[in-house]
Structure 1
Amino acid sequence: MSRFVIGLTGGVAAGKSEVSRRFEALGVTVADADVAARAVVVPGSEGLRRIVAHFGAGMLLADGQLDRPALRERIFASPQERQALEAITHPAIRQMLREICEAAPGPYAVAAIPLLTEAGGREQYPWLNRILVVDAPVAVQHARLMLRDGVTAELADRMIAAQASREARIALADDVVVNDGHPQALEAEVVRLDGVYRGLAGIAR
C-alpha cells in the first residue's frame, strides 16, 4: 500500500501524459483524474443521479449514458452551472484518486491531476506528499495544440489562457520537469525523480 503520493500536473499540451507513461513504465501506479471523472458518472452512479437531478434528464443519451457535449455546452455558458457540476463530481474524483493511490503496490504512487492548480491545489488535495509540474514554454504548448488537435492559433491561445498561468503552477511545485521536446532528457529526468521519490517514500514510512 502506497502512503506516499505525488501529484502530477501541468498545462495543456505540456506533456503530462508522456510523463505519466514513463512513470508507469517504471512500475509506478498512476491514478488519472480524467479516467476518474468518467468513472464517477457512469450509469447507476451517484454522480450521474445528482447530475440528472440538477441539470435534468435532457443530459442523458438514449442508452442512459451522460450526454457530455450537451453538458459541456451548458456549463460553459454559465459559471454557476460549472461550479454546480464541480461540486457534484470533484469530491468523488478526489476520493477515487486517493483510494487508487493508497491501494497501489510499490513505495509510492502518482495522481495525475491536469487541473490541480485550478482545483485548489494542496488545500483540496492535502494527502499529496509532493507536487510535480510538467512545464513547457507557452510557444511549445501553442505549437503542440495546433499540431495535435488541429485547432487554429486563436483557439490554441484561448485554451492556454483558460488555464492557470505557468507561474501559478510552478509556485505550487516541489519538482518541475521541463518538457520542451527532448525525449532523452525527459526520460532521464523521470528516472532521476523515480529514484528521489522511492528514497523519500522510504523515509516517510
Structure 2
Amino acid sequence: MVKVGLTGGIGSGKSEVARRLAARGAVVIDADKIAREVVEPGTSGLALIEAAFGPQVLREDGSLDREKLGQIVFADSGKLARLNEIVHPRVGERVAELQRAAPADAVVVYDVPLLAENNLAPMYDLVVVVDASDRTRLARLTGLRGMAEQDAVARIKAQATREDRLKIADIVVPNEGDLDDLDARVEEVWARIRRHRTADA
C-alpha cells in the first residue's frame, strides 16, 4: 500500500486532482467529507456537539448548522478545542476503517486540506501538493464559486502559505491552466506513484 497525502490551498484544484486519481484506480479518502459524515443527524458526534454547544447549533431539520457553530468556536479557542475533541477521534476511526478495507496493494490518497497546517506530512509515503498562484485561486473563488472577494481573500490568508505547502511536497502539480493540462499532469503523477509502489514492493 502506498499512502499519498494530497493537499493544496482553497481554489487550487485539489478536488479535481483527487477525482482524476480516483478514476485511475486510487482509493481516495476525503477528510472533509468524513468530518461531515461523523456529525450527521443520528450520530454520537452530533449528539455530543449539541450537548456541548446547545440546541442553537442545530437547524430546524436536526442537522448541524455549520455557520452558527463556526461563529461560536472560532471566537473561543477553548470551544474550538472541545469541538476538535469530539470530531477528530471519529474522523480518525473512520479513516482507519477505510484504510483497512483497501486492498493491500492499493494506492490510498488522503485528501487533506490542512495537511501543511497540521504538520501531517510524515504520515504519508508521498505528499502531492496542487499549486496555483494566489491570483489564480482568487479568480477561481470569485468567478467559479461566486465568493465575495474579501471572503475569498480571508479564506486564502487563513490557510498555510503557498511556500509552506511547497516545502513539504514530494510532487508538485502546477495548476494554472485548463482541465486538459491538469489531466496530463495527473497522468504524470499517477505514473510516479506507481513507480514508487513498484520500488517498495
Q: Is the 8 A contact 2:27 2:106 kept in 1?
A: no
Q: 105-114 or 155-164: which moved more?
A: 105-114
Give the equivalent residue in structure 2 for 1:80: 78
Is 1:115 aligned to residue 111 of structure 2?
A: no
Partners in 1 of 2:163 and 2:52 — Cα distance? 36
Structure 2 SS opposite 1:173 = coil
Residues 178-187 or 165-174, more deviating: 178-187
SS class of match (1:118): coil
1:49 is matched with which residue: 38, 47, 50?
Answer: 47
Spell out the pairing of 1:28-177 with structure 2 (5 A cutoff).
28-105=26-103, 107-122=106-121, 126=123, 128-177=124-173
**Partner SS, residue 30 of structure 1:** strand
User: Can you list the C-alpha shifts for 1:39-64, whole angstroms capped at 9, x where unaligned?
Assistant: 11123323223212321233233443
1:122 CA drift (Å): 3.1
CA separation in 2, counterparts of 1:50 and 1:118?
26
1:194–1:94 distance in 2 versus 1, CA, 3 Å: same
Contact persistence 2:9–2:131 (CA under 8 A): yes
Worse overlay, 41-50 or 7-16: 41-50
Residue identity in the other structure for 2:72: R
Distance in 1 between residues matched to 2:181 and 2:99, nearest whole Å? 27
Q: Distance in 2 between matches of 1:99 and 1:122?
A: 20
SS for the counterpart of 1:93 is: helix
Deviation at 1:185, TM superposition (A): 2.7
List aligned pairs for 1:159-198, cutoff 5 A: 159-198=155-194
Does the C-alpha gap of structure 1 residues 161 and 82 become closer, same or farther in structure 2, counting only changes over 3 Å?
A: same
The percentage of counterpart residues that share the same residue type is 39
Question: Structure 2: how far apart are the matches of 1:80 and 1:147?
Answer: 36
Q: TM-score by structure 2 length?
A: 0.89
TM-score by length of 1: 0.88
More deviation in 80-89 or 173-182? Answer: 80-89
Task: Compute the displacement of 1:121 (Å).
Answer: 1.8
* Structure 2 CA distance for aligned equivalents of residues 171 and 7 of structure 1: 14
Q: Which runs of structure 1 show a deviation greater than 6 angstroms over 4 or more consecutive aligned residues?
A: none
Gaps of 5+ in 2: none
C-alpha displacement at 1:184, in angstroms?
2.7
2:25 partner amino acid: G
Please tell me whether the aligned partners of residues 5 and 121 of structure 2 are also in contact (alpha carbons under 8 angstroms): no
Does the 8 Å CA contact 1:14/1:136 hold for their aligned counterparts? yes
C-alpha change, 1:169 and 1:95, in structure 2 (3 Å) is farther
